[in-house]
Chain A
């Protein structure tokens, strides 16, 4: 078990005894995630607020309902487009692509 940092800019809540982190890639950039987190949680903790563009006007959209209802958090996961990031857990070396037209 690693020691958690408790900086004010860290969005991960301290004190839950996290195990060792893993790595996932977001639009090619490597970020740290923790097994058991949803893809949405890992993206949120890494500071990503915009996940897709809206269907009609192409406006920036971020997560909304957080529980699989609204389809606003659609991302491409390991090549499969339109995945609800709040309903999938992270896995080591997972490849996430944001703002792909297919996810709109």
Chain B
């Protein structure tokens, strides 16, 4: 049997996915919850697996506490949970091609789909960023939180965004020697603070807890400072940084060298919208939402009827927004399914929509504050790799753009960028930003790349297991 049917298929078991699953299961819906990760909880709710150790969770903050409660509340006897399962494509009529943990390919026909595919980290390439020993800040946190392993005993953290402080905190708690935190954004960026930030007081208090730990540990915290090179013979040995001016240009002659075995780097997050794009949902560029996001109506339904999305896919704003949107999507789905929907439901939905506006304001503030300036891309040296898989350099891109290959699609044809194993998951958002910086055009005017199935590499052996 290669085909099953479900009322609601939730793709992604992070915060938005598990909140929606709880709400839908409580209302009696028949739900399948799919994710390609080993454990439930997505990127935020990571913990030491039960069979690895008895101390399971490192320093859960209050958003994570809420999240773990939702996981505990999930009534697994009433829901089909598939971990290590990958979605290869979504086809008309909401037929979803999946590969299970056992590497068997089959179709799930869903009456409704909720895309809760979250976000991944974004990066600003520098010379040597493909060198072993240069890891994403997320990778360092995942190794600590899911496996209890530090990639090295000493490190430098560099990039941009609030997440760096959380990684710094985890590293210090794990006993690592943190040599410096390098933040390219100026300490006081001129973004008007809005009163909506006050609604996020618990988050801000947490941020200050991370920051005070850093300050009391005596770790050098450098603002307006960019990593310009990772050096080493086969593996990382030194990180070179340089100060940047208010416009984001490197100030030369004031480089600083940090000896270290590990660099954790990250520049915030990009929404995982490829699956939505492959299905045919419309996407849009919005700097205040953190880049390219899936377009939705007020009920979080995408441009394709019956396909909803919740969490970071609609805009980068953190865990509280994902929790809020998970419930909004679940309520919208229940209403569309014709389940009992009374005044109490209407009232709850209205309240959640109000909360969502505050979360989006919070996200807007930080997305604009930590936005990578165009000058940062223009400063990338020619020999720096941009597409890690197909090994396309900044110089290749400069030449191709000068020759008229100046759209995401033509650049891809000219250089094979974004055509390797990761399918542009890492270089895609960088290339959009580079094109905008080189051409002076807004990304809002660009046509995004077409995403085709399979959206993740799959073996012929797996595909051969499929039969109608």
Contacts and interface: CB of A to CB of B under 8 A. Distances in A.
B151 A44 contact: yes
Contacts of B459: 82
A16 B148 contact: yes
B48 A44 contact: no
Interface string B330-359: 000000000000000000000000000000
A87 interface: yes
A50 interface: yes
Nearest to A80: B459
B389 A71 contact: yes
A57 B248 CA distance: 32
Given A44-B149, A71-B389, A60 B51 contact: no
Contact of B175 (A13, A60, A66): A13
A71 B36 CA distance: 14
Contact of A87 (B38, B51, B139): B38
A13 B148 contact: yes
B226 interface: no
Given A34-B52, A64-B388, A65-B136, A50 B37 contact: no
A41 B48 contact: no
A14 B48 CA distance: 13
B149 to A, nearest CB: 4
Contact of B139 (A8, A42, A65, A82): A65
B52 A18 contact: yes
B121 interface: yes
A97 interface: no
A64 B37 contact: no
Interface in A58-78: 59-72, 74
Given A15-B55, A66-B139, A67-B43, A87 B130 contact: no
B135 A63 contact: yes
Given A11-B153, A16-B53, A68-B36, A62 B235 contact: yes
Q: Determine the main DSSP class of B at the interface with A.
A: loop
Contacts of A64: 130, 134-136, 139, 388, 426
Interface in B390-429: 390-391, 420-422, 425-426
Given A11-B150, A19-B53, A37-B149, A65 B138 contact: yes
A51 B131 CA distance: 11
Size range of the interface on B?
35 or more
A10 to B, nearest CB: 9
Contact of B53 (A8, A17, A55): A17
A24 interface: no
A37 B153 CA distance: 19
Interface string B138-160: 11111110111111110000000
Contacts of B421: 71, 74, 82
B271 to A, nearest CB: 13
B135 A54 contact: no
Contacts of B174: 13
A70 B148 contact: no
A40 interface: yes
A55 B135 contact: no
Given A13-B174, A71-B457, A35 B422 contact: no
Contacts of A9: 153
Residue from B38, B138, B139, B141 with most neighbouring chain A CB atoms (10 Å): B139
Contact of A59 (B37, B53, B130, B457): B130
Interface in B105-138: 120-121, 130-136, 138
A37 B120 CA distance: 22
A38 B38 contact: yes
A65 B235 contact: no
Given A11-B150, A35-B52, A87-B37, 17 more contacts: A11-B153, A13-B148, A18-B148, A19-B53, A36-B147, A54-B391, A55-B420, A57-B391, A63-B139, A64-B388, A65-B121, A67-B120, A67-B139, A67-B142, A70-B136, A89-B38, A89-B49
Interface of B: 36-38, 43, 48-55, 84, 120-121, 130-136, 138-144, 146-153, 174-175, 234-235, 388-391, 420-422, 425-426, 457, 459
Per CB-CB distance, the 10 closest pairs between chain A and chain B, nearest first, are A66-B139, A36-B52, A62-B132, A41-B147, A17-B54, A16-B53, A36-B49, A71-B421, A56-B391, A49-B132
Interface of A: 1, 8-9, 11-19, 34-38, 40-42, 44-45, 49-51, 54-57, 59-72, 74, 82, 86-89
17 contacts: A13-B175, A16-B53, A17-B55, A36-B48, A36-B49, A37-B52, A37-B149, A41-B149, A56-B390, A56-B391, A63-B135, A63-B139, A65-B120, A69-B120, A69-B425, A72-B388, A89-B49
